[in-house]
Amino acid sequence: MTNRIALWLGALLILAFAVDVLLYDTRHLVFLGRKIFNLLDWVAFWR
C-alpha cells in the first residue's frame, strides 16, 4: 500500500466518522466500539 492510498483511506474513514456523528449522534460509534472491544477480548482469549 502506498502512502497516497493510505492517506485517502484515512481521510475516507475520518469523513465517515464525521458524517455518522453529524447525522446519527455518537450512538453508532459507541456500539461499534463495544463490539470491537468484545472481538479483541475474544481474539486475545484464543491467542
Cα 30 from Cα 34, distance rounded (Å):
6
DSSP reduced 3-state for 25: coil
Q: Is the pLDDT of residue 24 over 90?
A: no
Q: Residues 26-44: pLDDT tens digits?
A: 888 888 889 999 999 999 8
Three-state SS sequence of 1-47: CCHHHHHHHHHHHHHHHHHHHHHHCCHHHHHHHHHHHHHHHHHHHHC
Instruction: Give the pLDDT score at 27.
Output: 82
Contacts of 28 by beta carbon, 8 Å cutoff, 6+ apart: 20
